[in-house]
Amino acid sequence: MRRIDNKEIFSKHGIKNTKQRNVILDILKNTDSPITAEEIFIRSQDSNVNMNFSTVYRILNTFVLKDIAIKTSIGEDDKNLYELNMEEHSHYLICLSCKKMIKIGHCPLEEYESQIQRNTKFRIIGHKLEIHGYCPECIEEDMHENKN
């Protein structure tokens, strides 16, 4: 998978190429499911770049504004999650027990959306879909616990 250079991304959006933005963009590129600002802050400590919590938030807000990242409010606790804005459209299957999130490739809603568009005269821009359940591991664990 080819990854566009950070520098290119920043200049395309007319924002400065700073160390902090590079660190955060790299973190977002290297995660496969949405993460919290806190998690990003923690991971940024592994780099040798100075990083402040408010900087994390400011950069994330900038990224969201520039459509570099997406802010989702998926989690059951009330923290926001951030992920890279991939052109490819995907959804998550979320385990209610361990909170693990698994990306689902195919999206079944294209036809449905155009149908709604016809019926409601809305101009549909996109959608957010989460599917909730319990993952095989948690189901198994639960069965063991209940044996006791």
Report the alpha-carbon distance of residue 24 to residue 27 in Å, rounded: 5
In the list 29, 30, 32, 79, the residue contacting DNA (rule: CB under 7 A) is 79
Is the CB of 29 or the CB of 79 nearer to a copy of itself? 79
In the list 50, 90, 114, 115, the residue contacting DNA (rule: CB under 7 A) is 50
Q: Which residue has the tokens 């079944």?
A: 108
Nearest CA to 60 out of 90, 6, 20 is that of 20
Region from 7-15, 26-34, 96-104, 108-116 binding DNA, contact rule CB under 7 A: 7-15
Is the CB of 62 or the CB of 113 nearer to DNA? 62
* Residue 131 binding target from a copy of itself, DNA, none, CB below 5 to 8 Å by type: a copy of itself
What is the CB neighbour count within 10 angstroms for residue 40? 21
For residue 47, state whether it binds DNA (rule: CB under 7 A): no
Q: Which DSSP state fits 81? A: E
Q: From residue 38, how far is each of 34, 45, 52 by CA, in Å?
A: 12, 11, 11
For residue 124, state whether it binds a copy of itself (rule: CB under 8 A): yes
What is the CB neighbour count within 10 angstroms for residue 103? 13
In the list 20, 31, 33, 47, the residue contacting DNA (rule: CB under 7 A) is 20
**Radius of gyration for the chain, computed over Cα atoms and rounded to the nearest angstrom:** 18
For residue 37, state whether it binds a copy of itself (rule: CB under 8 A): no
- Which residues make up the interface to a copy of itself (CB under 8 A)? 73-75, 78, 80, 93, 95-96, 102, 104, 108-109, 112-113, 116-117, 120-136, 139
